[in-house]
Structure 1
Amino acid sequence: MNRRKKIQQLLKAHAKKASAKLAPAGKSKYVSKADRLKLADEPSQDEVIS
């Protein structure tokens, strides 16, 4: 592989990574099972108080 091709390959890889960072996230953030249970319990507690 010649020098020009290596440089072009590196530049293309860096540009690809930079554009991937700017793209919107495809997945939502992971929430653990325990946290999901806590979140599910919170609204039911509010209903009991009201």
Structure 2
Amino acid sequence: MNRRKKIKQLLTAHAKKASAKLAPKNKPKYISKADRAKLEAEASQAPETPQEN
């Protein structure tokens, strides 16, 4: 691999990483197991209260 090709390869890799960082992220934010359990407990307590119509 000649020097010019190596440099071009590095520059394109850096550019690709930079554009990937700016791209929107579709992955949902991570919620820990303890937080999920707490949210589930709160959700299960909420419907137990009687609602008057």
Normalised-by-shorter TM-score class: 0.7 to 0.9
Q: What's the offset of the Cα at 1:23?
A: 0.6
Q: Distance in 2 between matches of 1:26 and 1:3?
A: 38
What is the match of residue 31 of structure 1? 31
Structure number having the greater helix percentage = 1
The size of the alignment, in residue pairs, is: 49
Unaligned runs of 5+ in 1: none
Alpha-carbon RMSD across the aligned residues, in angstroms, is 1.8
What is the match of residue 19 of structure 1? 19
Indicate the percent of aligned positions where both proteins have the same amino acid: 71
Unaligned runs of 5+ in 2: none
Please give the residue correspondences for 1:3-14 in structure 2 after superposition, counting only pairs within 5 Å.
3-14=3-14
Larger radius of gyration: 2
Q: What's the offset of the Cα at 1:15?
A: 0.4
TM normalised by structure 1 equals 0.74
TM normalised by structure 2 equals 0.71
